A and B are shown apart, each in its own frame.
Chain A
Amino acid sequence: DTGVSQDPRHKITKRGQNVTFRCDPISEHNRLYWYRQTLGQGPEFLTYFQNEAQLEKSRLLSDRFSAERPKGSFSTLEIQRTEQGDSAMYLCASSLAWPAATNEKLFFGSGTQLSVL
């Protein structure tokens, strides 16, 4: 069990540029989540996948944001035309869960810190 890994750990970009983050979940996990955390706040849900299907999206996920999980394994989160307000820690989490599961437990990665200048 190597845990959830995220790449890069830090990203500095200029306003208007596109950025892409990658998340590798724990290998047998079927669910993958993206959260965003700003300084001094708790994480906010963005979206989640069950295998390769994106099942829920928060209204925080504007049309500049897109997430994919093409083969049900790793996931990418892309932000187009970045804005200074996008500066945050982007956290990925994964879990092994089934529709009737009652004990879903999320394992979080260490996040990607995005700074938009």
Chain B
Amino acid sequence: AQKVTQAQTEISVVEKEDVTLDCVYETRDTTYYLFWYKQPPSGELVFLIRRNSFDEQNEISGRYSWNFQKSTSSFNFTITASQVVDSAVYFCALTLGHSGSARQLTFGSGTQLTVLP
């Protein structure tokens, strides 16, 4: 069975600081997809990124960047120059299979990020 661990329960930073959210996963499958979702106080989860197990290139999208390392089974998420609006719970998730389907996502327990003004 697969598992996703987000060891950081809560992180608090001051605006404009950089912050990295850690994600470690476990699976015996060689084909899988990893995701990050953001859950603001309103409750709906917002998709941020999907990465397949064969693509280890790091990705940058604006202030967001992701570091995927299969050797350590980690898929970490960095927010550069954090803003108050980044305050939310962030979830890392995993799904198995070739299709990249989001069926049966396995989520970590989430990291509550608070960005202080």
Contact = CB atoms under 8 A, between A and B. Distances in A.
Interface stretch (A14-22, A40-48, A78-86): A40-48
Contacts of B46: 108
B102 to A, nearest CB: 5
Interface residues of A, number: 31
Interface in A99-117: 99-111
Nearest to A92: B44
Contacts of B100: 101-104
Nearest to A91: B45
B99 A101 contact: yes
Contacts of B110: 40-42
B103 interface: yes
B12 interface: no
A42 B107 contact: yes
A104 B107 contact: no
A112 to B, nearest CB: 10
Given A95-B102, A104-B101, A110 B42 contact: yes
Contact of B107 (A43, A100, A101, A103): A43
Contacts of A107: 47
B44 A42 contact: no
- Residue among B9, B102, B109 with the highest chain A CB neighbour number at 10 A: B102
A89 interface: yes
A88 interface: no
Nearest to B101: A104
B107 A44 contact: yes
A110 B100 CA distance: 24
Nearest to A113: B43
Contacts of A41: 107, 109-110
6 contacts: A33-B103, A35-B105, A41-B107, A42-B109, A97-B101, A106-B105
Interface of A: 3-4, 33, 35, 40-45, 48, 56, 58, 89, 91, 93, 95, 97, 99-111
Interface of B: 4, 9, 37, 42-47, 50, 91, 93, 99-110
> 7 closest A-B pairs (Cβ-Cβ)?
A42-B107, A102-B100, A110-B43, A108-B45, A108-B44, A110-B44, A104-B102
